[in-house]
Amino acid sequence: MESVLVIDFGGQYSQLIARRVRELRVYSELVSYDMAIEEISKKKPKGLIFSGSPYSVLSSDKTPPMVDKRIFSLGLPILGICYGMQLIAHLFGGKVVSSGRNEYGKTRVNLDINSPLFAGLKPAEVCWMSHKDSVLELPPSFRIIASTPNLPIAGIENPVRKIYGIQFHPEVVHTPSGMDILKNFLFEICGCSPTWTMISIIEKEVDEIKNTIGDGRAICALSGGVDSSVAAILVHKAIGDRLTCIFVDHGLLRKGEGSQVEKAFRENFKINLVHVKAKQRFLSKLVGVTDPEEKRKIIGNEFIRIFEEEARKIKDVDYLVQGTLYSDVIESGTRDAARIKSHHNVGGLPEDMELKLIEPLRLLFKDEVRNIGIELGLPEEIVWRQPFPGPGLAIRIIGEVTPERLEILKEADSIVVEEIKRAGLYKTIWQSFAILPCIKSVGVMGDERTYAYPIVVRAVTSEDAMTADWVRLPYSVLERISSRIINEVEGVNRVVYDISSKPPSTIEWE
């Protein structure tokens, strides 16, 4: 299978570059900047893309990420983006300087359309800049292919070696012709073919699962959402009845969700299913706990212990299947990316696990998983179910989780989802839910003073959970949600709407 490797220097858009390449039906993989040259060669990529980075090639107090210079002797086409361009210029003998200020935002860039990288584009395009350093002097054998009034060298190329660099970001939507630039690099310069499809992903994953598990047995952590359901079906295609799905109801699910998940799964799939009801077990572990990271790790640990117990009952089970996505991995922190929050299925896992992990979706984004689900024939209510965090409502109660608060939030959240569906907005919204901050405010009901909880309503649009924007819900929908929650949920006297985007906020509050 043809591929292009994205060399990750820790940039905020690194995963987005890989995503955009995949959208053009070429398989891409995000790999660390210090991957051994032998490992890169073994993967046989058709080209390389150097990502951006929070570092500077000029840094003296922090060692900037570098590549082995032998990478340029592999004969592969290379595209450097932002830091990637500066690194190429620096390593080939050019001069990189710091302007002392950030250049951030939309910029009109003049392009040399004789360069194969810009073939078919207009001589001037709007592009997205996000940098502080810039290339002041070209390295030998390179020429300028892009510039702005403030930046004489905004793009470079060495056409003989097929090495290119651009200071702006083609992977973001703010660069309207960015996909055309990536197309030119992939198809005209690297010679790739658009052959990476959902069917090819399914075939590849099934083969890998067969090779990994062999004649062994596995259990799958099933939540009822599209991620774990797709993971379960892929593993079932590989090993059949040697897979058992474990659905753990930790009591932190949405209203009526436990029975709904079991019913939907049993009706649609002929896969072994065990339903573990463990509400009291989880709630007892959360007594007095208010720190969100501690909550996540307690819940992640308890999940694993239950899976290990169930695996011992089945016997001869060595593997645990999870529907971990790439966004979970990135947010939980990698060597080159800071931890935002520990996802229960990544950073919340105990170190002494008895089971080996199988994560067939670990390098995929949510929309890719949904497309695979459609290809596999999953029912619509599973494919389009909005994402729900593994720790459940525990991280939507801001403070200690108590039975009273849990019931209040379940009722309020149910109203939010009902009204979003009633308005016909459920499929177009990434997530819509209620949050219960453990504070109280004064209100008045029936001429009497109340002192009760507020409910925060959150609704966001997103493509992959890495970034998100708040939904401009119609006032009529907000009014119905507010009116119903205050009138129908005892213990609530106020409803507010969260209008923050990600970044700087996150989608979940904890």
The domains found in the chain, sorted by start residue, are: 3-189 (3.40.50.880), 198-383 (3.40.50.620), 403-497 (3.30.300.10)
Burial 307-321 (b: 16+ CB within 10 A, else e): bbebbeeeeebebbb
Q: What is the pLDDT of residues 74-91, one digit of tens each?
A: 999 999 999 999 999 999
CA–CA–CA angle 450, 453, 456 (5° rounding): 135
* Average pLDDT over every residue of 387-402: 94
pLDDT reading at 323 higher than 60: yes
Residue 330 pLDDT: 63
> For residues 249 and 221, is the Cβ–Cβ distance under 8 A?
no
Question: pLDDT-derived band of residue 59, with 50, 70 and 90 as boundaries?
Answer: confident
pLDDT-above-90 percentage for the chain: 66
Q: From the candidates 171, 419, 508, 510, which is the catalytic residue?
A: 171
pLDDT reported for residue 41: 95
Residue 400 banded pLDDT, cuts 50, 70, 90: very high
Catalytic residue (one of 90, 169, 250, 343): 169
Examine the residue annotation and report whether 171 is marked as an active-site residue of this protein: yes
Residue-level pLDDT at 102:
60
Strand partners, 163: 78, 158
Compute the mean pLDDT over every residue in the chain, rounded to the nearest whole number.
89
Q: Is the pLDDT of residue 344 over 60?
A: no
Dihedral sign for Cα atoms in the order 152, 157, 159, 161: positive
Q: Say if residues 472 and 459 touch (Cβ distance below 8 Å).
A: no
Question: Is 275 part of the annotated catalytic residue set?
Answer: no
Mean pLDDT over residues 394-401, rounded?
A: 96
* pLDDT surpasses 60 at 339: no
Strand spans (E) along 300-382: 317-321, 356-358
DSSP 8-state symbol, 377: T
Tokens of 89: 């210029």
Q: For the chain, what is the largest distance between any 2 Cα atoms, rounded to a whole number of angstroms? A: 81
| Unique residue bearing structure tokens 């067939």 | 360
Strand 448-461 with 441-445, pairing: antiparallel
Q: Give the whole-angstrom CA distance, residue 404 versus residue 394.
A: 12
Q: Is the pLDDT of residue 142 over 50?
A: yes
**pLDDT over threshold 60, residue 500:** yes
Is residue 49 a contact partner of residue 217, using CB atoms and an 8 Å limit?
no
Bigger pLDDT: 342 vs 284? 284
What's the rounded mean pLDDT across residues 329-338? 50
Band of pLDDT at residue 122, cut at 50, 70 and 90: very high
The pLDDT, as a whole number, for residue 100 is 58
Query: Does the pLDDT at position 104 exceed 80?
Result: no
Residue 290 pLDDT: 95
Instruction: Categorize the per-residue pLDDT at 331 as very low, low, confident or very high, splitting at 50, 70 and 90.
Output: low
Q: Which two tokens stand for residue 432?
A: 């819509």
Report field, pTM of the whole predicted structure over 0.85: no
Determine the 3-state secondary structure of 174 from DSSP: coil
pLDDT of residue 242: 94
Q: Is 343 an annotated catalytic residue?
A: no
pLDDT digit string, tens, across residues 197-253: 888 889 888 999 999 999 999 999 998 888 999 999 999 999 999 999 999 999 999
